[in-house]
Amino acid sequence: MEKEILELKDNYINSIDNVNGLSELDLIKSKVLGKNGELTRFLKQVSSLPPEKRPVMGQLVNKAKSEIMAILSAKQSKLEHARLHSKLSKDGTDASLPGISVKKGHLHPISLVIREIVTLFDRFGFTVKEGPDIESEEFNFEALNIGKDHPARDMHDTFYLTNKQLLRTHTSPVQIRTMLNEKPPLRILAPGKVYRYDADTSHSPVFHQIEGLYVDKNVTLADLKGTLTTFLHSFFGQDYDVRFRSSYFPFTEPSVEVDVKWNDPGSKLHGKWFEVMGAGLVQREVFRQTKIDPDLYTGFAFGMGIERLAMLKYQINDIRLLYENDSRLLKQF
């Protein structure tokens, strides 16, 4: 009997191995383990054996049974998996078809530049301030030490509104608004639109500036140089030379203009200097106008044209392209 059981087991294991279909497997299962299955029969016979032989034979049959069952179930999951796979494989989906998605949207290059500048100055603790586009003579000019008959008014061709207000010619009035409302120390950055009555083709009557102001005790021209150099190196690249030229603005003294030397051997601009911003130490007169004690505080201010920076950085050759908003241009940013 022992030999028969082992033989039976080996036979079935063998035939399970050769099975190719689930129904065939079911058949084998019932043939061996079913109510009248061959192994079930042996199990029944065990009870008719003499008591001393029963445990040994019982163990033998049960062992054979569990071995067969393990192989059966492994085979079964293998066959089920194969059947599902073959079913899924018949699905006609072409996964190379394109994704169904919305077109990507893009930020305007002017916003990109403003964001980058704001982020860089964020590290120096500068926060954004906003001011109105429609300004008064007082904030746009007079408080900035540009009196009504100051020759520097020639630098600002101004749009006036019929209500006697004007469209700000620079973002500098935000300095005044801030200094009137807050006490030093101050570190602010004011991006925004500005307006100049400038009809020629290389200028735009509307453009963007970003103004910076830093007021504290003991602020020096050296601090201005260090801050702006660090900024320009971050914005353009560490290997871009930066230089400062003496200049004049009514609301700063000393005043400087800042140039950057293009460093990209592959570019037409390589080796050329480009003026990128004006800056200077805040005029004492501006402090007096805003009730800040010029003997106690000093500060520096700077202003730059966003379009100019965007055009340099992205190599856009005509300022008007920035306002056409052709979707094929916008897509590239």
Partner 1 sequence: MKIPISWLRDYVDLPESIEEMAEKLSFSGLEVEEIIEVGAALKGIITGKIEEISPHPDADRLVVTQVNDGSKRIQIVTGATNISVGDIVPVSPPGAVLSNGMKIKVSKLRGIESSGMLCSEAELGVADEADGIWILPTNTPVGVDFIDYAQLKESLLDIAILPNRGDCQSIIGTARECATLLNLPLKRPEFKLNESKAETAVDLNSKSADCPLYSLRELSSCSLNKTPLWMQRRLELCGIRPIQLFVDITNYVLLEFGQPLHAFDTNSLKGTSISIENIIASSTFKALDGQAYTLEKDDLVICDESGPIAIAGVMGGKSTEVTENTTSVSLEAAYFDPIRVRKTGTRLRLRTESATRFEKSVDIEGVIEAANRASYLFQTLAGATVKNINVFKSEKDPLFKEKLLNFDPEGINKLLGTTYERKDIQETLESLGFKINGDTLVVPSFRQHDISELPCIAEEIARLKGMENIPSTLPQGPSLKASQLASFEFDQLIQNTLCARGFSEVNTFPMVSEKSFKKAGLPIEGTLHIANPISQDESVMRTQLFVSLLERLSFNRRRQQKDCHFFEIGKAFNESIKPHFEDKRLCVVASGTYFKEAYTETSRQENTYSIFHMKGLLEGLFSDHSISFDSNDSRTFLHPKKQCSILNNEGQIIGFIGTLHPNVASEFDVSDDTVVAEISFLSLDLAPKFPSYQSVSKFPTIKRDLALLAPKELSYGDIKSFLLANKPKLVTDIQLFDVFESDQLGEDKKSIAITFTYENKEASLTDDEVNKSHQDLRTLISEKLPVSIR
- Residue 66's H or E segment, with its range, is helix 54-89
6 binding partner 1? (CB under 8 A): no
Backbone angles phi, psi at 136, to 5 degrees: -100, 160
* Range 275-304, binding partner 1 (CB under 8 A): 281, 283-284, 298
Q: Which stretch binds partner 1 (CB under 8 A): 1-9, 15-23, 25-33, 184-192?
A: 184-192
Are 268 and 244 spatial neighbours (Cβ–Cβ below 8 Å)?
no
Backbone angles phi, psi at 4, to 5 degrees: -60, -45
70 binding partner 1? (CB under 8 A): no
Q: Which stretch binds partner 1 (CB under 8 A): 12-20, 37-45, 64-72, 321-329?
A: 321-329
Q: Measuring CA to CA, which residue among 192, 191, 156, 178 is closest to residue 292?
A: 178
Q: How many CB atoms lie within 10 A of CB 115?
A: 12
The minimum distance between CB 245 and partner 1, in angstroms, equals 5
* Range 82-101, binding partner 1 (CB under 8 A): 97-101
What is the C-alpha separation between 123 and 112, in angstroms, rounded?
17
End-to-end CA distance of the chain: 84
Long-range contacts of 74-83 (CB under 8 A, 24+ apart): 75/16, 75/17, 75/19, 75/25, 76/22, 76/25, 79/19, 79/20, 79/21, 79/22, 79/25, 80/22, 83/22
137 binding partner 1? (CB under 8 A): no
* Range 104-123, binding partner 1 (CB under 8 A): 104-108, 110-111, 115, 118, 122
Q: Which stretch binds partner 1 (CB under 8 A): 7-15, 36-44, 56-64, 210-218?
A: 210-218
9 binding partner 1? (CB under 8 A): no
C-alpha angle 39-41-46 in degrees, rounded to nearest 5: 100
Q: Which stretch binds partner 1 (CB under 8 A): 29-37, 51-59, 80-88, 242-250?
A: 242-250
Are 75 and 17 spatial neighbours (Cβ–Cβ below 8 Å)?
yes
Q: Which stretch binds partner 1 (CB under 8 A): 8-16, 25-33, 80-88, 145-153?
A: 145-153
Can you tell me which of 26, 67, 223, 264 binds partner 1, judged by CB under 8 A?
223
The minimum distance between CB 87 and partner 1, in angstroms, equals 23
The minimum distance between CB 187 and partner 1, in angstroms, equals 5
Residue 2: partners with Cβ closer than 8 Å, 6 or more residues away: 57, 60
* Range 10-69, binding partner 1 (CB under 8 A): none
156 binding partner 1? (CB under 8 A): no
313 binding partner 1? (CB under 8 A): no
